[in-house]
Amino acid sequence: MTMTRKTRARLGMLPVAAAVLLAGTGCGTQRAGAGAVADPSLGPTPTGISTPAAPVDFPCPGESPAPTAAATSTDSTAPPADHYAENHAFRMPLPLHGQSRCDGLAAVARVEKALEPLRRRGDFAPESVRGALTGLGYPAGGIRADRNGPTGVGFLIDVGASPWCVEGTLNTASTRATAFGGYPDGTGCEPPRGGH
């Protein structure tokens, strides 16, 4: 009989202990917002809460200002048609912003200018592409150039900034390059492997 009373007494204290713990941590108290009343025991209310700023882009030298795209509304009640993009977002390169974007556009222009003579000559050897890119001052260890079809070369340059990358293709039709800031789940310019 004595054992049962002690057990009931301990079990009866459990809700009280939980309530004290939650009250002590602030759970269940009203936070700032519409209709909130400040609790003087909590100290002063912060007046400015820092939020991450959106990256700022500006026109780079030789670039005209781009019109801002109108915000599009999305219907959150519609079921997603395909999860492919969502599942492979880790493979989408990160865009450059601000001065890094301008530096990237300048690097792309230099790379395309250096590779264009190879395209006009029909020289689609990966060794020739690597030679032209090392001639621009990029370290040989940071350049990957691979055959891309019978008349094309794909290339990737790890510029060495944390990360700052240039990739592109050289083929009979064109010389194209883009600059980007690595990958969300990667540690450099190589696309990450894996995913789901």
Tens digit of pLDDT for each residue in 146-159?
998 888 999 999 98
Give the DSSP per-residue string, 63-77: -PPPPPPPP----TT
Long-range contacts of 64-70 (CB under 8 A, 24+ apart): none
User: Pick from 156, 150, 160: which is nearest to 169 by CA?
Assistant: 156
Using left for φ > 0, alpha for ψ between -120 and 50, and beta otherwise, residue 43 falls in left
Using left for φ > 0, alpha for ψ between -120 and 50, and beta otherwise, residue 195 falls in left
Tens digit of pLDDT for each residue in 37-66?
555 555 554 555 555 566 778 888 877 766
Confidence class for position 123, pLDDT limits 50, 70, 90:
very high
Confidence class for position 192, pLDDT limits 50, 70, 90:
confident
Helix (H, G, I), strand (E, B) or coil at 187: coil
Q: In 29-91, which ranges are continuous DSSP H helix?
A: 84-87
Cα gap 140→163, rounded to integer Å: 17
Q: Which residues contact 127 (CB under 8 A, 6 or more apart)?
A: 145
